[in-house]
């Protein structure tokens, strides 16, 4: 089985740190490979990243400019063939509690879409004590990268057929794309990955510097408010399941029945 982690990165030091953790925790021995879209890297950055890849597990594509995450991720999916995929960010670290193997089996089931794994912001005793790792899958229509989003080839085929648009919330758009195609999305609580969200130079920089396209409000209601709750200058709150529209629910039911008929 071909297992592939996809990462879009504009922070070379964090990407090198991820590769160190990937090798240290033996992910290559479990058959995982990594496809990286390195954005705005210098030639020295690229050399450092290649030097880190002692196991030759990485395929690196370079872009001289920043690419919005939805476009970058779907491009990586289209360019790289695998049986199972895991979408991660460059500010993630593989830790002892990271265990994707049970999810690989789970996503082989018919009708399973995206499965988002659990995460901790920093691998400290205090933060780890708040995380209760257990073998449980919880249905959730909108899921986020968290500790990694895992999905199979059929779901990948749904995503790469969608228009390449610089959607404001890429995880939300992926979730809605898969949900409206009739699949069921989940959160998995049995794996934990360190994910240092909201640190400098990442998606916040892209959101605040580029003109992003609002997600289709026929499918998802976007709420706007004052303040900096989500630290994005555009003022939009991150949507959740309650923001999914009736049209999305209707499309899900219709296409879920079609998936059942085709099974």
The whole-angstrom separation of Cα 37 and Cα 11 is 11
Residue-wise over 177-214: b if at least 16 C-beta within 10 A, else e?
Answer: bbbbbbbbbbbbbbbbbbbbeeeeebbbebbeeeebee
Say whether 213 sits in a helix, a strand or coil.
Answer: strand
CATH number of the CATH domain containing 162:
3.90.550.10
Average pLDDT over every residue of 54-80: 95
pTM over 0.85: yes
Residues 6+ apart with CB under 8 A from 35: 4, 5, 6, 7, 58, 59, 61, 76, 79, 80
DSSP state of 67: -
List pLDDT tens digits, range 206-216.
655 667 888 99
Does residue 227 surpass a pLDDT of 70?
Answer: no
**Strand (E) or helix (H) holding 102:** helix 101-106
- Give the domain range for residue 239: 3-262
- The encoded tokens of residue 200 equal 């400098």
SS3 201: coil
Which pLDDT does position 153 carry in this prediction? 97
User: Could you give the number of structural domains in the chain?
Assistant: 1
- For the residues 44-55, what does the mean pLDDT come to? 96
Q: Residue 231 — very low, low, confident or very high, per pLDDT cuts 50/70/90?
A: very low
Given a contact cutoff of 8 angstroms between Cβ atoms, the answer to whether 50 and 126 are in contact is: no
pLDDT at 197 over 50: yes
The DSSP output letter for 44 is H
Phi then psi dihedrals of residue 40, to 5 deg: 60, 30
Cβ atoms within 10 Å, residue 47: 11
The half-sphere exposure of 206 on its side-chain side, counting CA atoms within 13 A, is: 24
């Amino acid at each position: 089985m071909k297992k592939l982690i996809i990462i879009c990165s504009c922070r070379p030091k964090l990407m090198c740190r991820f590769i160190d953790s990937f090798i240290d925790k033996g992910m290559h021995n479990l058959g995982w490979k990594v496809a990286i879209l390195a954005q705005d890297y210098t030639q020295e950055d690229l050399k450092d990243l290649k030097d880190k890849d002692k196991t030759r597990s990485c395929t690196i594509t370079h872009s001289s400019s920043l690419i919005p995450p939805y476009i970058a991720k779907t491009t990586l999916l289209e360019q790289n063939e695998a049986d199972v995929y895991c979408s991660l960010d460059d500010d993630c670290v593989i830790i002892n509690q990271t265990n994707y193997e049970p999810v690989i089996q789970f996503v082989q089931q018919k009708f399973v879409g995206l499965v988002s794994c659990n995460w901790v912001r920093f691998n400290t005793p205090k933060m780890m004590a708040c995380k209760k790792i257990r073998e449980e899958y919880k249905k959730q229509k909108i899921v986020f990268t968290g500790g990694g989003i895992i999905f199979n080839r059929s779901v990948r085929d749904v995503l790469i057929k969608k228009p390449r648009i610089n959607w404001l919330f890429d995880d939300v758009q992926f979730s809605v794309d898969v949900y409206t195609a009739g699949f069921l999305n989940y959160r998995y609580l049995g794996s934990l990955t360190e994910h240092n969200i909201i640190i400098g130079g990442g998606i916040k920089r892209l959101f605040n510097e580029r003109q992003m396209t609002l997600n289709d409000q026929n499918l998802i209601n976007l709420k706007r408010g004052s303040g900096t709750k989500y630290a994005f200058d555009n003022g939009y709150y991150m949507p959740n399941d309650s923001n999914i529209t009736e049209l999305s629910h209707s499309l899900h039911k219709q296409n879920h029945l079609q998936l059942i008929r085709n099974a």
